[in-house]
A and B are shown apart, each in its own frame.
Chain A
Amino acid sequence: MQQQQTRPSMKVEAKLFLARYKRDDKSHLVILDNQKCLKCKNKPCIIVCPAEVYHWEDDRLIVSYDNCVECGSCRIVCPYANIQFSYPRWGKGIGYRYG
């Protein structure tokens, strides 16, 4: 009963299940130098990514590129220009059904 009133936030992962992806086995997002990520205090890529592709584990940036919605935000906010961003090859990646 209570749940109805305060619906819990839907997680991005669950939302992305609705999307259609053609998976590329090569990542289109490349971290050029992990040392720079170690130095990076705010790690804005983790915050801005609408698909929550970036995670910090131990001392390394994990990039779940296959959830990427190809917006490019991570590249723009990276203070070290450390994300080499391209689009997935040959029409792979996300495909919107509504847009």
Chain B
Amino acid sequence: MPEKFDVIVVGAGPAGISAAITTARAKLNTIVIERGGIPGEKNMFGGVIWKNAFERLIPDFVKIAPLERKVVEYQYWILTDTGHIKIVYRDERLSKSPSGYTALRAKFDPWYAKKAEEAGAIVVTRTQALKPIVQEDKVIGVETDRGEVYGNVVIAADGANSLLAKQIGLHEEWKPHEMVLGVKEVVEVGRVKIEDTFKLGQDEGIAVTIVGGPVKGMTGGGFLYTNKETLSIGVGALLSDITANRKRPNELLEEFKRHPSISPYIKEGTLREYSAHLIPEGGYYSIPKLYTNGFMVVGDAAMLVNVVGWEGTNFAVESGIHAGETAIEAHKLGDFSMKTLRNYEEKLKNCFVLRDLRKFRNVPPLMRNNKALLTEYPEILNDLLYIWHTVDGKPKELKMKEMRKAILSRRNVAQLIRDSLAVARALFL
């Protein structure tokens, strides 16, 4: 006998659980369907948990959540074939009130899912949502590999592949240039080594964003995050670029790990896990239709990732909360049609989720179309610094000329102007 729920959430990641906590707390009969054996076991991210959105649901979030380290230092590394340029940013204000925390999803997600259960939601694992059940142009439930589940509204938090929204035509198949494939390794190096190497106190961590190096020629980058005992290290690039460069993801990661600026950090470590996941990085113009009758899409499934700032978890949570609140309004009105659910999109437009994505709408297209930005400019910068730091008796006047030549050999004046205008437009217009 199929049971009917007020709300069906598909996926027990941050987006889905945030929606479920929201609706369950309002006493809506909520079920979460998760395909993993335990929530989180299918999930992977870089990763940093941005606390702001989580604290809206759980005020003492940072005290009780299973987080690894608070991020007190941000580093930006530009890798070239032979070296690196690093920007290291640290501020005491950050360590007193950090925004980001490193985490491991196999630990974090089960804890977060418990919060939904504590709020009254039912979380069912080992169950795969196969497709939405549609009747008279309205989603009335979900077909799973264990039978049918019915509900007034379905919130699709089924992750980057977003199979449910695709099936009911909210978007077509993602394009290879909209998705980044990230491959990551968790390498155990030990607490003491981490804290010594990066000059960190207990529970303090760093987040490193890396461009260039082995990823050059492709739109993508790398990362390094400190966990309690392990490092999360990885690279990602657009599927279209991986295909065009015929670069196997594991080879890319291996080259990355062998880079002279990376290898010292992991040399003595022990590999604990190799993982891969898609990151929806199409940006604003790739966002699907966010709702239809009886159906809303949240988090990665809705392409809600901001490549500027590398934010995803907070977009997932914020969108989940707004979908949950919209479901509550719909429940009060007894109307789960598009007429009510369009409020979900309105809410996203009025908060950072769609405001940020709209603001930086031209960044993803620029980054994928102008490969020089991530390829030539790191090399130019490196050449300039190399020439400047080679003290060989040549007068500096000659050095300056060499530097000018180094720039112009990679980008001519017209290109330099065009590139700067394009970047300025993408960031500031």
List chain A positions with a Cβ less than 8 A from chain B. Answer: 6-7, 9-12, 15-16, 18-19, 22, 42, 44, 47-52, 69-73, 75-77, 81, 85-91, 93-99
Measured CB to CB, the residues of B under 8 A from A are: 35-38, 40-45, 104-109, 125-128, 130, 145-146, 160-161, 163, 173-176, 179, 181, 183, 185-186, 230, 232, 239-240, 242-243, 246-251, 254, 258, 271-278
21 A-B residue pairings within 8 Å (CB atoms): A9-B251, A10-B271, A15-B250, A15-B271, A18-B273, A42-B243, A48-B181, A48-B243, A50-B249, A71-B276, A71-B278, A73-B278, A76-B173, A76-B179, A77-B239, A90-B126, A91-B125, A96-B42, A97-B272, A98-B105, A99-B41
Closest 3 CB pairs of A and B: A91-B126, A99-B105, A50-B276
Q: Are B179 and A97 in contact (CB under 8 A)?
A: no
* Bound CA span A23–B240, Å: 30
Contact of A70 among B42, B107, B176, B240 (CB under 8 A): B42
Please give the distance in Å from A25's CB to the nearest CB on chain B: 14
Contacts of B278 in A (CB 8 A): 71-73, 76
Say how far B158's CB is from chain A's closest CB, in angstroms: 9
Chain B residues within 8 Å of A7, by CB: 258
Residues on B with C-beta less than 8 A from A98 are: 104-107, 186, 230, 232, 272-273, 275
| CB-based contact A48/B273 at 8 Å | no
Among B126, B183, B242, B274, which residue has its beta carbon within 8 angstroms of that of A19? B274
On whether A44 and B127 interact (CB within 8 A), knowing A70-B42, A91-B37, A99-B41, the answer reads: no
Instruction: Kindly list 10 other residue pairs between chains A and B, CB separation below 8 angstroms, not including A15-B271, A73-B276, A76-B278.
Output: A15-B274, A42-B243, A42-B246, A52-B248, A52-B250, A72-B278, A95-B37, A96-B43, A97-B272, A99-B41
Nearest chain-A residue to B227 (Cβ)?
Answer: A98
Q: How far is the CB of A38 from chain B (nearest CB, A)?
A: 19
Chain A residues near B37 (CB-CB < 8 A)? 22, 91, 95
List A contacts of B258 (CB < 8 A): 6-7, 9
In contact, A71 and B277 (Cβ under 8 angstroms): yes
* B127 A90 Cβ-Cβ under 8 A: yes
Chain B residues lying within 8 Å of A10, measured Cβ to Cβ, are: 254, 271
CA distance A86 to B145 in the complex (A): 11
A18:B250 contact, CB within 8 angstroms: no
| Cβ-defined contact, B146 with A86, below 8 A | no
Contacting pair A50 B106 (CB below 8 A): no
> Which residue of chain B lies nearest to A8 when distances are taken between CB atoms in the complex?
B254
A94 to chain B minimum Cβ distance, whole angstroms, is 7
Residue of A nearest to B159 (CB): A72
Q: How far is the CB of A41 from chain B (nearest CB, A)?
A: 12
